[in-house]
């Protein structure tokens, strides 16, 4: 009679836990705030571009440093015509001499290097009429406020007037810049793109996309000897022109307009083996303790129950340690999902420890006979199949988490 009553209480407890979980999920889902996307848009233009990222890696994880959408074939033809008919052209090249101080928690990085521009007589006349130099109109779009605003510093007092009628000037830049593209969902296997974004400021609408175009100098742009970050693997650099659509007319009247924008970036990725040894191996060692929990003698119940508790505290500590490297993300990274699986396995281990411990307690009170022997064999079978069950469940779950990650993001 007591046994039946206990079973009823166990069933009631399970139903209560499931109901509480369902209510919690429903409540959190109602409180969750959806993301409102920016109305600004980038479209890759038809101008020449350089992309040195290893194509084999792009196929492997879907990563690409390109942003926005590509133009359709028909749009490409029209855009090429627009490039040829634009009133003002500026050929721009960027050479990063050093990159450093990568901080994923913001995310941002510091860099310095050179920018050079070559433009025609038409644009020079436009600038002269307004008593303006070209660097006064160039904006480093992703520059961040730090000790000083990132700026372009001319290396000469005036542009050089070449024999072919064009003007040339070299600038240096230094500053801290925002990172807009990183594969945080794949953490700890991360790829980040360190961009430098240039755009011409336009006050009266004369330098919008139909009238003013950047053309990347793909032959001479690149990265220098110190454009590396210790602990990260370089995956290549790229430079391309984009059509930047602002979802505003800045109060000038009329419709929203498009502007030419150049993005130069260097991509870095973590070493897969380094990430495994540093973050995954400690987790595997801790979870091995959960696998072996039922290899502890059945009569040492205190030792069995203590292992899942110790593992749980260790998991919390390990997770908090690596989360300090990342910004507050609105999604779970791959490693976060692995830790969720580890929490579930640890909880199941603790529940089974309690369940099997109570069954062994009942076993001690049973008289000798076939019933006692059958029950003991069932409990021993649970002890034996637990490690294999955990390995299969964890492997399938982790594989499922990885293949469902969005490519490149």
263 and 347 assigned to the same domain = no
If we measure between CA atoms, which residue out of 322, 316, 315 comes closest to residue 283? 315
Domain termination residue (choose one: 270, 288, 305): 270
In a domain, 252, yes or no: yes
Q: Which residues span the domain enclosing 345?
A: 274-403
263 and 249 assigned to the same domain = yes
- pLDDT tens for 117-162 read 999 999 999 889 888 888 888 889 998 876 667 788 999 888 999 8
219 and 246 assigned to the same domain = yes
Q: Supply the CATH number for residue 151's domain.
A: 2.70.170.10
Peptide linkage before 322 cis (omega within 30 of 0): no
266 and 305 assigned to the same domain = no
Q: DSSP for 10-24?
A: HHHHHHHHHHHHHHH
186 and 247 assigned to the same domain = yes
In a domain, 12, yes or no: no
Q: What confidence category does residue 76 fall into, taking pLDDT thresholds of 50, 70 and 90?
A: confident
Longest dimension (CA), the chain: 108
DSSP type of residue 278: I
242 and 312 assigned to the same domain = no
Domain termination residue (choose one: 208, 236, 270): 270
**Residue 4, pLDDT above cutoff 60:** no
Domain termination residue (choose one: 253, 270, 287): 270
Is the pTM value of this prediction over 0.85?
no
User: Is 354 in contact with 305 (CB distance < 8 Å)?
Assistant: yes
**Residue 9, pLDDT above cutoff 70:** no
260 and 347 assigned to the same domain = no
In a domain, 162, yes or no: yes
In a domain, 11, yes or no: no
Per-residue pLDDT at 242: 92
Taking the C-alpha atoms of residue 225 and residue 95, their distance in angstroms, rounded to an integer, is 11
Per-residue pLDDT at 33: 61
179 and 51 assigned to the same domain = yes
Q: Which helix (H) or strand (E) holds 55?
A: helix 55-61
Tell me how far CA of residue 61 lies from CA of 107, 186, 328, in angstroms: 21, 9, 23
Q: Supply the CATH number for residue 281's domain.
A: 1.20.58.390
User: Is 216 in contact with 93 (CB distance < 8 Å)?
Assistant: yes
Per-residue pLDDT at 52: 66
In a domain, 14, yes or no: no
DSSP type of residue 291: H
User: Is 130 in contact with 112 (CB distance < 8 Å)?
Assistant: no
Which segment of 79-83, 112-116, 270-274, 367-371 scores lowest on mean pLDDT? 367-371
In a domain, 228, yes or no: yes
User: 356: Cβ–Cβ under 8 A, 6 or more apart, which residues?
Assistant: 294, 298, 379, 382, 383
280 and 366 assigned to the same domain = yes
214 and 281 assigned to the same domain = no
211 and 318 assigned to the same domain = no
Here the tokens at position 27 are 């409540």
Where do the DSSP E strands lie in 221-352? Answer: 222-226, 233-245, 258-269
For the CA atoms of 48, 53, 54, 56, the dihedral, rounded to the nearest 10 degrees, stands at -90
User: How many distinct structural domains can be found in the chain?
Assistant: 2
Taking the C-alpha atoms of residue 343 and residue 316, their distance in angstroms, rounded to an integer, is 9
In a domain, 101, yes or no: yes
User: Is 140 in contact with 175 (CB distance < 8 Å)?
Assistant: yes
In a domain, 10, yes or no: no
247 and 152 assigned to the same domain = yes
Tell me how far CA of residue 381 lies from CA of 201, 335, 347, 356, 377, in angstroms: 73, 32, 20, 11, 6
Per-residue pLDDT at 13: 62
- pLDDT tens for 362-400 read 666 666 766 767 767 776 777 778 888 888 999 999 999
């Amino acid at each position: 009679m007591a046994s039946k009553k206990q079973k009823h209480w166990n069933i009631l407890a399970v139903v209560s836990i499931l109901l509480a979980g369902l209510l919690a999920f429903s409540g959190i889902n109602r409180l969750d705030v959806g993301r409102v996307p920016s109305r600004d848009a980038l479209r890759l233009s038809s101008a020449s571009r350089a992309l040195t990222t290893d194509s084999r890696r792009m196929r492997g994880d879907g990563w690409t440093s390109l942003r926005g959408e590509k133009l359709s074939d028909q749009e490409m033809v029209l855009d090429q015509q627009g490039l040829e008919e634009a009133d003002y052209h500026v050929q721009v090249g960027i050479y990063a001499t050093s990159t450093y101080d990568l901080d994923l928690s913001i995310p941002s990085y510091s860099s310095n290097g050179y920018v050079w521009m070559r433009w025609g007589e038409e644009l020079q006349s436009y600038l002269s009429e307004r008593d303006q130099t070209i660097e006064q109109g160039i904006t480093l779009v992703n520059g961040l406020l730090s000790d000083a605003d990132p700026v372009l510093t001319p290396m000469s007092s005036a542009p050089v007037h070449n024999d072919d009628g064009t003007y040339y000037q070299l600038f240096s830049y230094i500053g801290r810049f925002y990172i807009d593209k990183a594969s945080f969902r794949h953490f700890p296997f991360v790829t980040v793109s360190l961009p430098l974004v240039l755009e011409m400021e336009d006050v009266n609408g004369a330098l919008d996309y139909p009238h003013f175009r950047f053309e990347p100098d793909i032959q001479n742009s690149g990265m220098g000897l110190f454009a590396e970050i210790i602990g990260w693997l370089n995956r290549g650099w790229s430079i391309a022109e984009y059509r930047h659509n602002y979802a505003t007319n800045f109060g000038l009247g009329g419709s929203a307009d498009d502007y030419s924008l150049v993005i130069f970036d260097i991509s870095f990725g973590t070493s897969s083996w380094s990430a495994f040894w540093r973050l995954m191996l400690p987790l595997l060692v801790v979870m091995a303790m959960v696998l072996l929990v039922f290899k502890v003698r059945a009569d040492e119940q205190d030792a069995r129950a203590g292992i899942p508790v110790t593992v749980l505290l260790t998991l919390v500590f390990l997770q908090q340690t690596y989360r300090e490297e990342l910004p507050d993300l609105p999604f779970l990274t791959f490693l976060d999902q692995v830790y969720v699986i580890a929490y579930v396995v640890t909880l199941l281990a603790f529940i089974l420890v309690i369940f099997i411990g109570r069954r062994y307690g009942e076993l001690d009170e049973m008289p000798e006979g076939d019933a006692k022997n059958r029950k003991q064999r069932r409990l021993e079978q649970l002890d034996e199949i637990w490690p294999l069950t955990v390995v299969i469940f964890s492997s399938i779950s982790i594989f499922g988490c990885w293949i469902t990650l969005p490519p490149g993001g």
